[in-house]
A and B are shown apart, each in its own frame.
Chain A
Amino acid sequence: GESVGLHLPTLSVQEGDNSIINCAYSNSASDYFIWYKQESGKGPQFIIDIRSNMDKRQGQRVTVLLNKTVKHLSLQIAATQPGDSAVYFCAENSGGYQKVTFGIGTKLQVIP
């Protein structure tokens, strides 16, 4: 069936470097995507979202890029900090209302 998946299960990054987390989606009808961060022992936390009529959106230290041609999106974190260590999920809101399909997740480890 349709799913949202991630390329890399674990990503290790030096503190201060930029991080890039990738996500491939298979539902070509998807038109709204969200990135979440989940720290140990906590529920997911919204980071940034993007609609399919955009190809880039920036937040505070984060940027999401969407390539509809190859059904790929990425999350870029600038100047990665130890507090960024967490599991990151891309997600798709495929239908009306809050029916969100999540990817498996990528664990980001920041090396001090």
Chain B
Amino acid sequence: KAGVTQTPRYLIKTRGQQVTLSCSPISGHRSVSWYQQTPGQGLQFLFEYFSETQRNKGNFPGRFSGRQFSNSRSEMNVSTLELGDSALYLCASSSTGARGNEQFFGPGTRLTVL
């Protein structure tokens, strides 16, 4: 069974631009979560989607948004990029998203904002 895939793996943008990242969960998984990882803040929860609905949201500004499609694939979008948005963005999938349900992480998308 294929793992979680994320595209693109690397991305360079400039301040003010917007970016869209994609995540394909493990086949059969319906829950997709997104995390931001930086050296200073570690891994921080962005949001979680299940059946095309956002169920949980972390403490990020409205510039960060996401969506999930009927095939469970998910995208996240960051508008008006800031230097501080440079980070590794990780996607994780689980079958139901219930607590205790193991999450499987993708390799991440490395975003650099210049």
Contact = CB atoms under 8 A, between A and B. Distances in A.
Contact of A95 (B42, B56, B94): B56
A49 B24 CA distance: 25
Contact of A99 (B4, B43, B58): B58
Contacts of B48: 97-99
Classify chain B: how many residues form its interface, as a range.
20 to 34
Given A97-B48, A102-B43, A103-B42, A45 B105 contact: yes
Classify chain A: how many residues form its interface, as a range.
20 to 34
Given A43-B92, A44-B43, A89-B42, A98 B97 contact: yes
A42 B45 contact: no
B15 interface: no
Contact of B101 (A41, A42, A98): A98
A99 B106 contact: no
B56 A99 contact: yes
B99 A98 contact: yes
Contacts of A103: 42
A6 B48 CA distance: 25
Interface of B: 4, 31, 33, 35, 42-45, 48, 50, 55-56, 58, 90, 92, 94, 97-108
Nearest 9 A/B pairs, CB to CB: A43-B105, A102-B43, A99-B56, A104-B42, A98-B33, A98-B97, A97-B97, A98-B48, A93-B99
